A and B are shown apart, each in its own frame.
Chain A
Amino acid sequence: MPVEELKRLQYRLLKTLVYRLYSFSDFYHARMREANVHPDDIRTLDDVTRLPFMYKHDLRDNYPDHLFTATQDELVRYHVSSGTTGKPTVVGYTANDLENWTASLARSLTACGLGRGDVMQVSYGYGLFTGGLGMHYGAERIGATVLPSSTGNTERQIELMQDLHVTAIACTPSYLVHIGETAERMGVSIKDDTDLRIGVLGAEPWSEAMRTMLQDSLGIRVYDIYGTSELSGPMFTECTEQNGIHIWGDLAYPEIIDPETGESLPAGEKGELVMTVLKKEALPMIRYRVGDVTVLDDEPCACGRTAPRIMRIQGRVDDMLIVRGINVFPSQVEHTLMEIPEVVGSAFQIVVDRKGALDSMLVRVEMSPEAFSDKITDLMQMKAKVAHTLKSSLNVAAQVELMAPGALPRFEGKAQRVIDRRVY
């Protein structure tokens, strides 16, 4: 679609969305009143910047479904985020929401060169996580044959990959590394003994170096995919140019802002991604601050598509870590440690490493002087208790190292609590 035509379409969709939400959503009505903006003030696409932001905490504060603008009758599905920073967030879908999500992915997978005749192994988790089902329906829509293998049981996944002539796999980059290593142990060469040719990888940060490594070692092409549960799930991918993730303009309007000031930044500048999903019915998203740091590129892509692209995600504006696909916030670690009297909750350090394909997380904690016992068994029990409490609060296993009080660095400014030694 020519850029001018796309912009007219985006404006029309935005205007409709804003009118609808001003009229029917208590939340957006109040937000717009606060920001002193009325739907009539939106006269061009650029006026989007007059609209207030929506934050992750808005979803949490309105748990589970107070922001929904669809009735129970209209909802056809729920997905729920992992809830690592407190309450999970619930996303509801109407039939149209699922349709738009599926359509978005269908286009994305087509852009990766997939279609009828392909066999796609979906090795993202199925269930509350959006990856598995999202990819499943997207792949079916383009006429591919879907193998819903979900995660785990890697050897069987490799056998099925061979037996059913799988040509594409959707999973996390670290899981694909693990598959490659497992195949090697089994004496299977992904390059020579399978028909695999494409990987659609996401749900955790990864790098160009990782892409090169995977492509060379497995003999396939791998593409980056982007999405978050708030936007529906995985929605956008790169095209065969492998030069940025296309954001389908009739479905979403991306902006890049300065995370400190909230000011819009021009294309080419690095900042926080803000997304407006133009057709969401059940849980509308206007100017949602995703928190991912990236760069927008609105130059036409060599593939011919006019949809703007976002470059590889370069980090987070908050201090979120992704460990084994799970979001981990140092603030959550702190909160958890504060509840354990045997340790000094305000002093801790998180060390993340990658051993083989798997992330490992170590949390260094200082024990409180009162809790010190010179019996090793007592100390081991304390360590186990901290590890167990962290595991149940973060949903990801953590090794714990006990330190003497005062042994960890203190900070005057912003604390540097994370040592991320992973090499992607």
Chain B
Amino acid sequence: MAEKKYLIKQVSIFSENKPGRLAAIAHALEEAGVNILAFSIAEANGFGVVRALVNKPDLAHKTLTDLGFMVSFTDVIAVAMRDEPGGLFEIARILGEAGINIEYSYAYSGKDGAVLILRVDQVEEGVEKILAAGGALLDVSLFQ
């Protein structure tokens, strides 16, 4: 399955909403020599979820789990985005027209331009549609 190489293992960490939690996560990853490539925090009433793309997801998972954090892996895709007006629209439209729902996303500025990280409800179909529409997906090997 060709799409497999586009599935990137994102590390998701549950965090109670209190001072020092993010520092503890970041410090642990530093100690383990894990580099954070892209990152977001989603917050709700009383808790948050830290989502990160890291260069060594398995090591990050183990390190944080050992410290008592709740950690899980989620498959996300990374789409190269034109870094100009309309870049986001292009991608969002492809998925919207295909009836694929974006569950969450965050963007970061990659080495070679803007990158949109997406969690979608039908990941393989999403990959297919983006490629078919001429979009560019980043290969997992670029991250991990």
Binding site for B on A (CB under 8 A): 367, 369, 372-376, 379-380, 401-407
Contacts and interface: CB of A to CB of B under 8 A. Distances in A.
A379 to B, nearest CB: 6
Interface in B1-48: 10, 12, 14-16, 42-47
Nearest to A405: B70
Interface residues of B, number: 21
A6 B43 CA distance: 67
Contacts of A407: 16, 68
A372 B42 contact: no
Given A375-B104, A376-B49, A405-B68, 13 more contacts: A367-B70, A373-B72, A374-B74, A374-B119, A376-B42, A376-B44, A379-B14, A379-B47, A401-B16, A402-B46, A402-B47, A404-B14, A405-B70
Mostly, the B contact residues are strand
Q: Which of A372, A374, A404, A406 has the most CB of B within 10 A?
A: A374
B28 to A, nearest CB: 14
Contacts of B44: 376, 379-380
11 contacts: A372-B14, A373-B72, A374-B49, A375-B104, A376-B42, A376-B43, A376-B44, A376-B49, A401-B47, A402-B47, A405-B68
A403 B42 contact: no
A250 B42 CA distance: 66
Interface in B60-89: 68-70, 72, 74
A406 B46 contact: no
A369 B44 CA distance: 19
Interface of B: 10, 12, 14-16, 42-47, 49, 51, 68-70, 72, 74, 103-104, 119
A265 B69 CA distance: 51
A22 to B, nearest CB: 58
A357 to B, nearest CB: 24
Contacts, number: 50
Contact of A372 (B46, B68, B70, B119): B70
B70 A404 contact: yes
Nearest to A373: B72
Contacts of A405: 68, 70
A404 B69 CA distance: 7
A300 B116 CA distance: 82
B68 A374 contact: no
Given A374-B12, A402-B47, A369 B104 contact: no
A70 B75 CA distance: 69
Given A374-B12, A379-B44, A406 B49 contact: no
B47 A374 contact: no
A182 B131 CA distance: 64
A205 B119 CA distance: 52
Q: Which 6 A-B pairs have the closest CB atoms?
A: A374-B12, A404-B70, A406-B68, A376-B44, A376-B42, A372-B70
B14 A401 contact: no
A374 B69 CA distance: 13
A369 B42 contact: no
A407 B67 CA distance: 11
Contacts of B12: 372, 374
Nearest to A369: B70
Contacts of A379: 14, 44, 47, 49
Contacts of B49: 374-376, 379
B5 to A, nearest CB: 22
B11 to A, nearest CB: 9
A404 B16 contact: yes
A404 B70 CA distance: 6
Contacts of A380: 44-45
A32 B47 CA distance: 56
Contact of A375 (B45, B47, B70, B103): B103
